[in-house]
Amino acid sequence: MFLPVMYMSALSVIRPFDPWRSPLCTCPRKYTLNPYTGCSHMCLYCYATSYIGKRESTPKRDLIVRVVRDLKQILRFETEPLINMSTSSDPYPPEETIHKLTRRVLEILCKHPVRLLITTKSSLVVRDLDLLRKARCAVAITVTTLDESLAKKLEPNAPSPRERLRAIERLSREDVPVAVRIDPVIPFVNDDPAELRRLVQEVVSSGAVHVVTSTYKARPDNFRRLLDAFPELERKLRRLYYEEGEKVHGYRYLRPDLRKKLLAPIIECCRTVGVSYAVCREGIPEYRRAPSCDGSHLVRSRA
Ligand code: SF4
């Protein structure tokens, strides 16, 4: 049984996941829990900033009390709800080493019958292996490139690709299932087919068992940040997104044929190496061979 709609509005921090109402979202029904507001990783392409502004990770006020209250409400009606931590800010920003807020939330969640999907681009997640090993959980780690200097430009305050690969290795060795998000793929930036294939091979040999990928979708603020960082691409990106592309639910998308072409090396490589794969908000059903797009099928259920 699901939580009745009348109770949903009373939830304060564990909220039903709403991918900004995107009609192309294929995520399973789940809740989202962001211990922090804002995100210090400062990725150029971040989608959340157009909704909440660009700001550093700030702990949510009274988080623990609110988590306990929401959880109690949800568990009255649902058996093993799926909670994704987090969807609009990273649960492991640099500040987490000080506040340990995500860890405190995990300590609570681990004691309850919930399924957990942790989405992060931080290797700090391995700090909590003692809890993750006991939890019904999977971890989705974002890796957009193996090129260290490009990653530094795209995701200035996030751990390097090398550190993320080590985290994937460590988690899988400890039997925590790992999915990888190759997301977003940005034309002329990280779309080299040979590099994308190499990336899939690296993450899979590090232990990832599912790959989800997606092309970059432009919003006015993230597009401006990209152009500031890559001024030489302005003309080409404007043509692809604002002249030839299409508007989908408030985002500028690439042409459908181009989206398919950009993601093809990743999908083909996943097929070759034999891991499950899916795309995120693309509307390309033939690019999915997995029970879930987001990797939540990797989360063990008690049943
Ligand atoms: S880690 Fe995610 S939420 Fe944080 S800045 Fe990067 S894209 Fe945005």
Q: How far is the CA of 34 from the centre of ligand 1 (A)?
A: 12
Given a cut of 70, whether residue 253 has pLDDT beyond it is: yes
What would the mean pLDDT of 108-115 be, rounded to a whole number?
A: 96
Give the ligand 1 atom nearest the CA of 158: 1
Given a cut of 60, whether residue 105 has pLDDT beyond it is: yes
How far is it, in rounded angstroms, from Cα 220 to Cα 205?
37
State residue 302's pLDDT score.
65
Question: pLDDT band at 6, cuts 50/70/90?
Answer: confident
What percent of the chain has a predicted confidence (pLDDT) above 70? 98
Pocket flag, ligand 1, residue 140 (CB < 6 Å):
no
What would the mean pLDDT of 208-221 be, rounded to a whole number?
A: 98
Backbone angles phi, psi at 299, to 5 degrees: -75, 125
Question: pLDDT band at 303, cuts 50/70/90?
Answer: low
With both helix axes pointing from N to C terminus, report the angle between 193-206 and 256-273 in degrees, rounded to the nearest 10: 40
Question: pLDDT band at 9, cuts 50/70/90?
Answer: confident
Is-contact 37 60, C-beta < 8 A? yes
State residue 147's pLDDT score.
98
Is-contact 301 291, C-beta < 8 A? no
What would the mean pLDDT of 191-218 be, rounded to a whole number?
A: 98
204-225 per-residue burial string, b: 16 or more CB within 10 A, e: under 16: bebbbbbbbbbbbbbbeebbeb
CATH number of 5-213+267-286: 3.20.20.70
Pocket flag, ligand 1, residue 44 (CB < 6 Å):
no
State residue 225's pLDDT score.
98
For the stretch 137-190, pLDDT in tens is 999 999 999 999 999 999 999 999 999 999 999 999 999 999 999 999 999 999
Give the ligand 1 atom nearest the CA of 121: 1
For the stretch 85-99, pLDDT in tens is 999 999 999 999 999
State residue 19's pLDDT score.
76
Ligand 1 pocket: which of 20, 42, 43, 186 to mutate (most atoms within 8 A of CB): 43
Question: pLDDT band at 1, cuts 50/70/90?
Answer: low
Using only C-alpha atoms, the chain has a radius of gyration, in whole angstroms, of 18
For the stretch 233-243, pLDDT in tens is 999 999 999 99
State residue 7's pLDDT score.
75
How far is it, in rounded angstroms, from Cα 114 to Cα 241?
40
How far is it, in rounded angstroms, from Cα 30 to Cα 117?
10
Pocket flag, ligand 1, residue 164 (CB < 6 Å):
no
What percent of the chain has a predicted confidence (pLDDT) above 90? 92
What would the mean pLDDT of 97-119 be, rounded to a whole number?
A: 97
What would the mean pLDDT of 59-74 be, rounded to a whole number?
A: 97
Pocket flag, ligand 1, residue 266 (CB < 6 Å):
no
Q: How far is the CA of 292 from the centre of ligand 1 (A)?
A: 22
pTM for the model: 0.96
Give the ligand 1 atom nearest the CA of 155: 6
Q: How far is the CA of 88 from the centre of ligand 1 (A)?
A: 7
State residue 93's pLDDT score.
98
Pocket flag, ligand 1, residue 144 (CB < 6 Å):
no
What would the mean pLDDT of 10-14 be, rounded to a whole number?
A: 94
State residue 24's pLDDT score.
92
Residue 120 pairs in a beta bridge with 141
